[in-house]
Amino acid sequence: MASTGKVAIVIGSRSDYDIVKPALGVLDKFGVEGEIRIISAHRTPKEAHDYVASAEERGIEVIIGVAGKAAHLAGVIAGYTTLPVIALPIATSFMGGLDSLLSMVQMPKGVPVATVAVNGADNAALLAVQILAVKYPELKEKLIQYKEDMRKKVVEDDLALQAELGK
């Protein structure tokens, strides 16, 4: 199979892993290679720099930065690269993830970061696939089929509900 890109998922701590597992499943479903690392923007800044600085030469084309609380990981990553960066905020006990979300979407001018919903791992991976689909036509075809499958499911659910209601 021809290459269909490579996505890096960088989590700020081990506790984020359970949240990002669905993203790995989405990447696998679309045949996109993914790698996952634990790197903290605050506790391991040198490692964050080194990892991102070598990302392109390792074949990484999109990076998903996952963090909670101060949630600076995606922004720090975006500061080190021109690759597309997707921020995945993690729910916290303090504000339910609103703190993480706001930290991620309030990036300064010149350092864009795409941001998905709190704990929205599936959408982070799907956005990464959509970005890659600009370059890889086979991914675009898979996305078209994915959306058609979603449409069919909703139509089927509606028909089943209407039958249940006797309409």
Q: Which two tokens stand for residue 69?
A: 């609380």
Q: What is the pLDDT of residue 135?
A: 96
User: Which domains, and CATH codes, for the chain?
Assistant: 6-137 (3.40.50.1970)
pLDDT (0 to 100) of residue 1: 43
Closest to 17 (Cα-Cα) out of 70, 75, 67: 67
Of 132, 121, 138, residue with least CA distance to 24 = 121
What is the CA angle 78-142-58, rounded to 5? 35
| 62 CB-near residues (< 8 Å, 6+ apart) | 5, 7, 8, 83, 84, 85, 86, 128, 131, 132
Angle at 164 between CA 162 and CA 167, to 5 degrees: 40
Contact (Cβ atoms closer than 8 angstroms) between residue 131 and residue 30: no
Q: Residues 80, 52: contact at Cβ < 8 Å?
A: yes
Tokens 């990076």 sit on residue: 63
pLDDT band at 165 (very low <50, low <70, confident <90, very high): very high
Secondary structure of residue 138 in the 3-state scheme: helix
Query: Average pLDDT of 47-52?
Result: 97
**Can you give the pLDDT at residue 93?**
86
